[in-house]
Amino acid sequence: MSTPTSPAPRVALFATCLVDALRPAIGFSALELLEQAGCTVEIPPTQTCCGQPALNSGDQAGAAALARRNIALLEGFDAIIIPSGSCAGTLRSHYPELFPPTSPWHARAQSLAAKTFELLSYLHDIRHWRPQNLALPASCTYHDSCSGLRELGVKHQPRALLAGIAGLTLTEMPEAETCCGFGGTFCVKYPAISTAIVSEKTANIAATGADLLLGGDLGCLMNMAGRLHRQGVPVRAFHAAELLAGRGHGPAIGEPE
Amino acid sequence: MTAAFTARVSAALTDPTLKTAIERTTGNARAKRAAAVAAWPSFEAARDLGRDIKDHVTQNLAFYLAAFERNALASGAQIHWARTADEACDIVVRLCRQAGATSVTRAKSMLGEEIGLPHALEAAGIARVETDLAEHIVQLAGDRPSHIVWPALHKTREQVREMFACLHHEPGGLDSVEAMVASARRELRQKFMRADVGISGANFLVADTGAICTVTNEGNAELTTTPPRVHIVTAGIEKLVPSTAHAMSLLRLLVRSATGAELTQYTTFHCGPKRADDADGPREFHIVLVDNGRTRMLTEGLEDMLRCLRCGACLNHCVVYRQIGGHAYGGTYPGPMGAVLTPVLDGLPTAQDLPRACTLNGLCAEVCPVKIPLPTLIKGWRNKSWRLGLEPRAVTLALRLWRFAATRPALYRLGTRLALPVLRLFARSGWARALPFASGWTGQRDFPAPARQSFLDQIKERRHDRA
């Protein structure tokens, strides 16, 4: 894999359907960070969804249809970068499982999986990018989203990168690695259980006294921020990439533009 | 989303003491397990070994079953084979009747719960005395176990004190946990000695000796299996291990994962009935080997689940279990392992909510001592549920529409362009408190207003501006 001194890799930014529709600031942050890290970034204009809702609901045919589409769309790039652990995990860990080993799609899915990365770990581990001249006087706490943490090993990378922002202090919450209760379609299929889970999470967040809640997955962040707002807890939520791209002074999730 | 499951979940979430009770026990278990694992540098290698031992037995099941039967018979035990839960219960009831039993003691066994043995004994008019302290509490309350290691986990000690005061014959002072245990001891001690038959489960069936192994922290298994004239063991065939050494390897994993202790207080290998020069022991020793769906699991892609040691670590770490407790699952086995096993035992239509009511966060697989890929197995049930048409119509319709749009980028972009301004109409100063078709979300959370324009449309405009 390339280092900052080797020729610029041509990477595809796969924004994810949530970032595309709900919070473009994360997409722009990812774009800027990848360019700072020496990548030639393309944003394939016909990208849609990774297929995770179908995959997790038992619709294997639907998931495979989207997987074939994304494999064809993205396999020509040096790397595919996704600002979400669960969507990156879908391409990396689950696309190959959708096709029998004898299918040519299986090999193509495996080769795509090998060059698909979650944004923050790609910046830190592969591009060795570090924040320069960033300052934000604030306290924050970090939620480890489950798929990024357990499927992709995203844990120390966002913390190491955030430590490079002058004035930003991190207070770990109890049970930072415990699921927030989002679970994709789980939160609307079983809202009562999901609410009970997220309410424990927001209590842990509030107990830190932090100004900001950070994470690497918009779905989880919306779940926690939406519950915090309903409870009237004034913690502001951002994707970590937004702070790393210098957007920490702008509106947080749910704040008017 | 069956009405029955929804009602059980609702009862659990509104129970004023359940959450406290769950968190006291599982929180303690999580902390102790974490400490035990941290103090065991070769834990990962031990997990691999545990997985390999269980897989080896599963792949050579017929061989080890035959070896176990041969060696158990040689030790003087009698072997009975049961294909189903009903067959197993019939055998146990017949053995109790043959022994002329009016009262039996029982040491906690999840297999016994699985096959419905408490009910079968009751139906046969045989008095049953549960000897595990937690099972004793469950029996007094006329309740069901809610955890596979701590069956009475759903009761707070305050509730137990109240029940002992009412139902024990000589409750005495119940002002401390020790006093409560002493009260249970007084209640149970005479019953241990008077029982005609003792029934236990088995944590391991040791193929090369024909012995069965029980682990407890109260010594009740020993008092259940030694004084009565007859000892009956009911065990699932997946409990087989090749040798005592293999059982010890698995025991280290089991106990640390369950309670964080290095070893249970009592670990006993029972081999055959009382011999002529033994001081004590049962005159008859029966082992009922139960299939009840296990060989079917081998052929239905669930062979990994046959590794399960019933340690309960996946329950203790599950965010869903921690909120709703064991009864809400509706089957014998709750939590992630229950979400995989209950559809085997009760059928997928009845248990369809269990694999669905999971966030797929993966922590259960991370703590499993024998590396069962629980989220993968849970997703396997979801795939089957989709194929069988058990998924709710609203979900399948929404996903089919989503797929239709997501495989047609122009339509997808048009849909986004139309939807965003509509969604924004519902928001006030950045947040929507209610959205059509999304009450599941907005019932208890606000929804952030979407962007004026999607990321991809903004990128497209920028390109136009630059060009």
Q: Chain B: nearest CA to A80, how far in angstroms?
A: 16
Q: For residue B336, is it within any domain? A: no
Kindly tell me the burial class for residue A256, based on how many C-beta atoms sit within 10 Å of its own C-beta (0-12, 13-18, 19 or more).
Answer: exposed
Distance of CA A77 to the CA centre of its chain: 20
- Give chain B's domain count: 2
Mean pLDDT value across residues B86-104: 97
> In the numeric block, which tokens belong to residue A8?
């610029």
Residue in B289, B82, B105, B307 with CA at minimum distance from that of residue B205:
B289
| Stretch B38-67: mean pLDDT | 98
Q: B179, exposed or middle or buried, with CB in 10 Å at 0-12, 13-18, 19+?
A: middle
* CA atoms of B272 and B64, how far apart (whole Å): 18
Contact between B431 and A254 using a beta-carbon 8 Å cutoff: yes
Name the residue among A105, A93, A95, A102 with its Cα closest to residue A54. Answer: A95
Helix axes B133-140, B177-194, angle to 10 degrees: 90
Domain of B456 in residue numbering reads as 409-466
Residue B225 scores a pLDDT above 50: yes
Instruction: Name residue A214's beta-bridge partners.
Output: A142, A238
Q: List pLDDT tens digits, range B399-456.
A: 999 999 999 999 999 999 999 999 999 998 899 999 887 888 999 999 999 999 999 9
Say how far apart CA B225 and CA B203 lie, in whole Å: 14
Segment A49-70 mean pLDDT: 97
The token pair at A16 is 């994810």
DSSP letters spanning B75-135: TT-EEEEESSHHHHHHHHHHHHHHTT-SEEEE---HHHHHHTHHHHHHHTT-EEEE-SHHH
Same domain, B416 and B283: no
- The C-alpha atoms of residue B227 and residue B212 are separated, in whole angstroms, by 17
pLDDT tens column, A170-220 = 999 999 999 999 999 999 999 999 999 999 999 999 999 999 999 999 999
In a domain, B329, yes or no: no
What ipTM was predicted for this assembly? 0.96
In the DSSP assignment, the letter for residue B312 is -
* Minimum distance, in Å, between the CA of residue B242 and any CA atom of chain A: 33
Last residue of a domain, one of B295, B310, B332: B295
Which position has the token pair 């986990």? B153
Q: Is residue B84 part of a domain?
A: yes
How far apart CA A109 and CA A12 sit, in angstroms, is 16
Query: In the predicted model, is pLDDT for residue A5 greater than 90?
Result: no
Chain A's closest residue to B5, CA to CA, is A190
Helix, strand, or coil here: B341? helix
Please provide the average confidence, as pLDDT, over all residues in chain A: 96
Domain stop point among B278, B295, B312: B295
Q: Decide if B194 is inside a domain.
A: yes
Report pLDDT digits (tens) over B311-347. 999 999 999 999 999 999 999 999 999 999 999 999 9
In whole angstroms, give the CA distance from residue B95 to residue B118.
Answer: 15
Does residue B305 sit within a domain?
no
- DSSP per-residue codes, B272-283: SS--TT-SS--S
What pairing do the DSSP bridges indicate for beta strands B427-428 and B431-432?
antiparallel
pLDDT tens digits along B129-162: 999 999 999 999 999 999 999 999 999 999 999 9
Tell whether the model's pLDDT for residue A2 goes beyond 50. Answer: no
Answer yes or no: do B440 and A188 touch at CB < 8 A.
Answer: yes
Task: Reduce the DSSP state of residue B226 to 3 states and report it.
Answer: coil
Tell me A125's DSSP state. Answer: I
Q: How far apart are CA B143 and CA A103, in angstroms?
A: 52
Mean pLDDT of the B374-395 span: 96
| A22 contacts on B by Cβ (under 8 Å) | 448, 450-451
Higher pLDDT, B283 or A4: B283
Per-residue pLDDT, averaged over A100-126, amounts to 98
Please check whether residues B424 and B288 belong to one and the same domain. Answer: no
Radius of gyration of chain B (CA): 26
Q: Has residue B426 been placed in a domain?
A: yes
pLDDT band of residue B128 (cuts 50, 70, 90) is: very high
- Cα separation, B217 vs A232, in Å, equals 47
The string over B409-425, giving b where at least 16 C-beta atoms fall within 10 Å of a residue's C-beta and e elsewhere, is beebbebbeeebeebee
pTM of the model: 0.96
At B91, the pLDDT band (50, 70, 90 cuts) reads: very high
Tokens of B202: 């088995």
CB contact under 8 A, B407 and A151: no
Q: Which residues of B touch A57 (CB under 8 A)?
A: 382, 386, 391, 395, 399
- Compute how many other C-beta atoms are within 10 angstroms of the C-beta atom of residue B450: 22
Dist CA B354 CA A59 (whole Å): 17
* pLDDT of B271 higher than 60: yes
Chain B residues with CB under 8 Å of A189 CB are 1, 356-357, 392, 395, 440
Contact A56 B452 (CB under 8 A): no
Point out the residue among A24, A150, A230 whose CB comes nearest to the CB of B445. Answer: A230
Q: Kindly give the pairing relationship between strand B427-428 and strand B284-290.
A: unpaired
* Residue B195 domain flag: yes
Q: What is B357-393 written as a DSSP string? A: S-----HHHHH-TT---HHHHHHHHHHHHHHTT-S-H
How far apart CA B46 and CA B248 sit, in angstroms, is: 11
Angstrom CA distances, B62 to B58, B59, B66, B236, B240, stand at 9, 9, 6, 14, 11
Contacts of A46 in chain B (CB under 8 A): 409
Whether A60 and A30 have beta carbons less than 8 Å apart is answered as: no
* For range B381-407, the mean pLDDT: 95
Looking at residue B137, which CATH number applies to its domain?
3.40.50.10420
> Which structural domains are found in chain A, ordered by start?
10-124 (3.40.50), 131-244 (3.40.50.11810)
Please answer whether residues A146 and A60 qualify as being in contact, where contact means their C-beta atoms are separated by less than 8 angstroms.
Answer: no
Chain A residues in contact with B383 (beta carbon < 8 A): 58, 60
How many angstroms separate the CA atoms of B231 and B109, rounded?
Answer: 14
Which residue, among B360, B390, B391, would best test binding to A if mutated, counting the most A CBs under 10 Å from its CB?
B360
Residue B449 maps to a domain? yes
The answer to whether the Cβ–Cβ distance between A20 and B362 falls below 8 Å is no
B322, B404, B455: best to mutate for the A interface, most A CBs within 10 A: B455
Task: Centre a 10 Å sphere on the Cβ of residue B434 and count the other Cβ atoms it contains.
Answer: 12
A24 with B382: CB under 8 angstroms? no
Best mutation target among A92, A93, A193 (most B Cβ atoms within 10 Å) is A193
Which of B295, B330, B353 delimits the end of a domain? B295
Do residues B119 and B265 share a domain?
yes
Selected for mutation to probe chain B from A28, A42, A146, A154 (highest B CB count within 10 Å) is: A146
User: Cβ–Cβ of B407/A69 closer than 8 Å?
Assistant: yes
Integer Cα distance of B221 and A3 in angstroms: 62
Strand pairing category for B284-290 and A135-142 = unpaired
- How many other C-beta atoms can be found within 10 angstroms of the C-beta atom of residue B20? 11
